[in-house]
Amino acid sequence: MITLQFIPYKELENLPSEKRINKILRAVKSDKIVLLEGSLESKEETDLISRTMEQINESFTGIEISVVKSEHLETNFLDRIRSKIVRLLTGNRHGFTIIGPAKIVKEIKQDPGKIQLLTNIPSNKK
The tens place of each residue's pLDDT in the chain, 126 residues long, gives 889 999 998 999 899 999 999 999 999 999 999 999 988 888 999 999 999 999 999 999 999 999 887 655 556 788 778 777 877 777 667 788 999 999 999 888 887 677 888 888 766 654
3-state secondary structure of 91: coil
Phi, then psi, of 90 in degrees rounded to 5: -100, -10
Sorted by where each begins, the domain ranges of the chain are 3-119
What is the reported pTM? 0.79
CB 105 within 8 A of CB 64: yes
